[in-house]
Amino acid sequence: MSDKLKPRGRKVKILATLGPASDTPEMIEALMRAGADAFRINMSHGEQADKAKLVEHIRGLEEKLGRPTTILFDLQGPKLRVGAFEGGKADLEKGGTFILDRDKAKGDETRVCLPHPELFEAVEVGSLLLVDDGKMRLKVTEVSDDKIVTEVRVSGTIRDRKGVNVPDVLIPIPALTKKDRSDLQFALSQGADWIALSFVQRPEDVREARELVGKQAAILAKIEKPQAVDGLDEILKEADAVMVARGDLGVELPPEMVPPVQNKIVATARLHGKPVVVATQMLESMITSPTPTRAEVNDVADAIYDGADAVMLSAESAAGDYPIEAVKMMHRIGKAVEGDERYFDRVHFTETPPDPTTADALAESARGIARTVDAKAMVCYTSSGSTARRIARERPSVPTLVMTASQQVARRLGILWGVYAVRTRDVDSFEEMVGKAKRMALRHSIAKGGERIVLMAGVPFGVSGSTNVIHVVKLQGNELETHQRHFEL
Q: CA 390 to CA 97: how far, in whole Å?
A: 55
Q: What angle do CA 245, 52, 40 make, to 5 degrees?
A: 20
Comparing CA positions, the residue from 157, 201, 193, 175 lying closest to residue 38 is 193
Q: Which member of 17, 70, 268, 280 is catalytic?
A: 280
Contact assessment for residue 204 and residue 227, using Cβ atoms and an 8 Å cutoff: no
Q: Is 252 helix (H, G, I), strand (E, B) or coil?
A: helix
DSSP 85: B
Mean pLDDT of 68-72: 97
Burial 80-114 (b: 16+ CB within 10 A, else e): bbbbbbeeeebebeeeeebbbbeeeebbebebbbb
Q: Is pLDDT of 285 > 60?
A: yes
Contact assessment for residue 381 and residue 457, using Cβ atoms and an 8 Å cutoff: yes
Q: Residues 233-266: pLDDT tens digits?
A: 999 999 999 999 999 999 999 999 999 999 999 9
The domain defined by 358-488 folds into Pyruvate Kinase; Chain: A, domain 1 (3.40.1380)
Q: What is the pTM of this model?
A: 0.93
Q: Which member of 10, 11, 13, 40 is catalytic?
A: 40
Q: Is pLDDT of 301 > 50?
A: yes
> Which residues make Cβ contacts (< 8 Å) with residue 463, sequence separation at least 6?
none
Q: Which member of 11, 13, 202, 222 is catalytic?
A: 222
Q: CA 90 to CA 87: how far, in whole Å?
A: 8
Separation of first and last alpha carbons in the chain = 45
Confidence of residue 432 (pLDDT cuts 50, 70, 90): confident
Q: Is pLDDT of 176 > 70?
A: yes
Q: CA 421 to CA 381: how far, in whole Å?
A: 10
Contact assessment for residue 325 and residue 31, using Cβ atoms and an 8 Å cutoff: no
- The CATH number of domain 13-77+175-341, selected from 3.40.50.720, 3.20.20.60, 3.40.50.300, 3.40.720.10: 3.20.20.60
Confidence of residue 487 (pLDDT cuts 50, 70, 90): very low
Q: Residue 390's CB: how many other CB atoms inside 10 A?
A: 24
Catalytic residue status for 81: yes
pLDDT at 433: 84
Q: Is 251 helix (H, G, I), strand (E, B) or coil?
A: helix
Q: CA 53 to CA 51: how far, in whole Å?
A: 5
CA-to-CA separations, 35 to 11, 26, 39, 61, 307, in angstroms, rounded = 12, 14, 11, 14, 18
Q: Residues 86-139: pLDDT tens digits?
A: 999 999 999 999 999 999 999 999 999 999 999 999 999 999 999 998 899 999
Contact assessment for residue 286 and residue 320, using Cβ atoms and an 8 Å cutoff: yes
Question: What percent of the chain clears pLDDT 90, i.e. is strictly above it?
Answer: 85
Tell me the pLDDT of the chain averaged across its residues.
Answer: 93
Q: CA 55 to CA 49: how far, in whole Å?
A: 10
Confidence of residue 485 (pLDDT cuts 50, 70, 90): very low
Q: CA 459 to CA 462: how far, in whole Å?
A: 8
Comparing CA positions, the residue from 26, 414, 450 lying closest to residue 194 is 414
User: What is the residue extent of each domain of the chain?
Assistant: 13-77+175-341, 86-165, 358-488
Contact assessment for residue 180 and residue 77, using Cβ atoms and an 8 Å cutoff: yes
DSSP string of 137-178, one letter each residue:
EEEEEEE-SSEEEEEE-S-EEEETT-BEE-TTS---S-S--H
**Chain-centre distance for alpha carbon 121:** 33
How many CA atoms within 13 Å lie on the side-chain side of 311?
29
Q: CA 40 to CA 319: how far, in whole Å?
A: 13
Q: Is the backbone of residue 9 left (phi > 0), alpha (psi -120 to 50) or beta?
A: left
Mean pLDDT of 457-480: 73
Q: Is pLDDT of 486 > 50?
A: no
More confident residue, 349 or 58: 58
Mean pLDDT of 362-384: 92
Amino acid making up residue 268: T
The domain defined by 86-165 folds into M1 Pyruvate Kinase; Domain 3 (2.40.33)
Comparing CA positions, the residue from 220, 398, 229, 234 lying closest to residue 310 is 220
Q: CA 166 to CA 301: how far, in whole Å?
A: 31
pLDDT at 463: 66
Mean pLDDT of 459-472: 75
